[in-house]
Structure 1
């Protein structure tokens, strides 16, 4: 006799005996060298701070104002909120798909009232010709028994999509921190640029006044006056441009932060010693790239595609489903749960595709092609990460020498300007020598500032390229 217990054991046995038709997943080998690039541009590996995905951003950035801006951005940035919502959507989709692994248990109750002109067999309930039927049932409908792993693989694929969405959110956070820090440093550099332009305007203005005074007494020519005014006007133009850039920088920071930042969080000058940890690694194993959130996300997408192949293969095999119900029925409401009123039914069914005109084969080929595409995407993400880290390390390896050279250039240009100005005032050198020295000093100061900004933004880029910013 087929009892409820027998049916339950049968269903559980089928589920536990199910097989998985998905290919066995193995992480692909690294499509890049085992170590980061080496050579003259990369410097010599030595003692350095361990900077990776495990390094908290609050430890990496050393300026309190910058940390405050980043904290505000993480709390208010709308793009990051979109990424968080995408994670919640993916998690909900995973829960929906996972529910198919289990039978949906539904309870039903019904009442039927009928009147017939013919008397029944003479029971008190039907003596008047009226029949009242009450029933209550608890059952499952068309539950697919996952014998060949179709639902399990679809569930695994959706789970991996959820994991990928979470890593995409982490990647968005890392990018937001890097963009915010770069924007803050750029505004700081533009503040310095404005100050340099103002100092230069003042110096050029004094030179212009001196030249005009010498022209009035016939010592200087009109050509010298116009040359002095040219450099003075250029400085004025640079002041206006720097003022515009600062306003635009602030707008960019407000957008990244998701709110209007208070003045105490905005930078005044570019920090002399930098706004990040000073010592960063020079030579790294390529395996550190596997912890980058975009690389991890790409691998989850690859695993999901691998699971979808298993689901596509399972479509070639029979689909086994089960419909069952357990309940009670009676001719009177008072007897609904009385002894002898119980009912049950079990209806297993099997469906085997015979002719689908290539639909299942097409789905399988599509799943395999998707897996191949995502494998290439995964490998490309690693190669892109390797290049980003290599580019950042190349800049890191030479920036110290470049900064020393630019500092020396600025100091020598300042010394040359002082000497040229003294010699011009003493009547030893022509005015053009002084004018050229002023221009060279102005250019050297701007180049030094640009190099300092490159040093700081390079540190931020290397931190992001290594997967930092997750904590």
Structure 2
């Protein structure tokens, strides 16, 4: 009669006892408190709803709408040469390495340990009875295999958390690129504005000088006064100061652009006067804000970090349960004999069986870790909610600015037309001898000031369009955000 073997009975009893105790693991009722806000639940506001005709998301090279080839080249050079892009790429590589490391925890591992040594045994009969006072070879070689039985998905969630963080870091890189592109465009718009203001200020200086010359001629002719000369000359120093300040601004903006390119200030010397044109209408995508999470890389990164934090909670909960490893080893071991005699078949030894560890008393350490991880999840959720709200605010702000600037530009055009009409009337009156040339010069000065206001409004419109394109994601599509709130 064959009697059944009960060699595995103790191991099975230990596993059953561990699973029973795992059911009693006390997590102290710790759970997340924050909830991910659905983008569709946010009221986009009247400004966004009435933004204008339906428009798609920004194109990838959204700055090409300005039709300035020099700007196109500057953006390309900035993306290729700015150190922030290299930093973002290094962070992605770092996250990739961490994801590979985390995934290794799900796979079996094998390790070979070997040692060859000579041993001089003790002369003590109780210590080295078999090899007393002898010099022998003491050699071993063991191939160890181990595999963690991931019953509670700890290793799986650790890997997925690392992969979610990798996606977040990749989205951070796209956000850094978008910020760099928008910074180049905004700096370039400022350069164009400074050039325009310089032209107007220099023209204003010429007109003011004409007024001074006329005041001198009137005084020399006996029909003017010294007060008129003093009044005419009073504005010249301030106008010259403004010209000097504008020239300084042009040099500083060139330096800023050179720094954005990742180069020295000398790279800005070759930047010529911008030739920006913008005739794009105001329009927003109809899918706003539903698709904003996937279009804005910073929001996408925040969403992936919420998902990663949720995985972290699952990992922290798994620490309350038994950790089971299946282990096996095989290899020769021998003391005595020749150098390679331990490799013979009789010296082969094996070992196998499960290794189980179960936390019984740890002074609240696991509950503390779970509480900290859960609070970290709440933190990431609220950061995401705040960023989503701020993103919609940024879009609404730029729409309001663009609409207001368009109305102001129409009013400024009317002011320019009225100033031009004043110039024409005063010029005809002077030609007919009905007034002096001083009134003509004052009318021309007023016309130049209105031109300056128009240029400032145009620069504001160009910058607001750039900010709106960036607020809509700048054509940088991110990986689709995970569904759900990421909570375990």
Asked whether the two chains share a fold, i.e. TM above 0.5, the reply is: yes
Residue 355 to residue 114, structure 1, CA distance change in 2 (3 Å) = closer
1:317 aligns with 2:313: no
DSSP 3-state at the match of 1:286: coil
Q: What is residue 107 of structure 2 aligned with on the other side?
A: 102
In 2 relative to 1, CA 232–441 (structure 1 residues): closer, same or farther, beyond 3 Å?
A: farther
SS in structure 2 at match of 1:101: coil
Matching residue of 2:38: 29
Task: Out of 77-86 and 296-305, give the one that drifted further.
Answer: 77-86
Aligned mate of 1:293, from 293, 297, 301: 297
- The 5 A counterparts of 1:8-47 are 28-30=37-39, 32-33=41-42, 36-39=44-47, 42-46=50-54
Partner of 1:268: 273
Report if aligned partners of 2:282, 2:399 keep a CA contact under 8 Å in 1. Answer: no
Match of 2:105, SS? helix
- Which digits, 9 at most, give the CA deviation of each residue in 1:135-177, with x for residues without a partner? 3222146x54322122322222222222111111111100100
Please show how residues 120-199 of structure 1 align to structure 2 within 5 Å.
129-140=134-145, 144-199=148-203
User: What residue is the counterpart of 2:397 in the other structure?
Assistant: 391
Q: TM-score, normalised by structure 2?
A: 0.81
- Displacement of 1:388 in angstroms is 0.9
CA offsets, 1:331-371, max 9 Å, x none? 43444544444322125322222222222112222222221
| Alignment gaps of 5+ in structure 2 | 16-26, 124-130, 478-488
Alignment correspondent of 1:306: 310
Aligned CA distance change for structure 1 residues 381 and 113 (closer, same or farther; 3 Å): same
Aligned to 1:281: 283
Q: Do the aligned partners of 1:45 and 1:282 also contact (CA within 8 Å) in 2?
A: yes
Cα contact 1:282–1:397 (8 A) shared by 2 = no
Contact 1:320/1:350 (8 A) holds in 2: yes
Is the alpha carbon distance of 1:57 and 1:265 closer, same or farther for their aligned partners in structure 2, counting shifts above 3 Å? Answer: farther
In structure 1, the residue matched to 2:19 is: none
Q: Hey, what's the Cα distance between the residues in 1 that align with 2:306 and 2:318?
A: 19
Kept after mapping to 1: 8 A contact 2:117/2:139: yes
Match of 2:371 in 1: 365
Aligned length: 446
- Alignment RMSD, CA only? 3.6
Shift of 1:117: 8.9
Of 80-89 and 62-71, deviating more is: 80-89
Paired position in structure 2 for 1:18: none
Q: Distance in 1 between matches of 2:458 and 2:50?
A: 18
Q: Secondary structure at the match of 1:287?
A: coil
> Which sits farther off after the overlay, 81-90 or 250-259?
81-90
Question: Which residue is equivalent to 1:70?
Answer: 75
Task: Return the alpha-carbon distance in structure 2 between the equivalents of residues 221 and 434 of structure 1.
Answer: 19
Other structure's SS at 1:401 match: helix
Q: 2:53·2:282 contact (CA, 8 Å) conserved in 1?
A: no
Deviation at 1:425, TM superposition (A): 7.0
Separation (CA, whole Å) in 2 of partners of 1:98 and 1:407: 64
- Could you say what secondary structure the match of 1:55 adopts? coil
SS in 1 for 2:420: helix
Native 8 Å contact 1:105 1:138 kept in 2: yes
Native 8 Å contact 1:192 1:270 kept in 2 = no
In 1, are the aligned partners of 2:305 and 2:380 still within 8 Å (CA)?
yes
- TM-score, normalised relative to structure 1: 0.83
Pick aligned residue for 1:381 from 373, 382, 387: 387
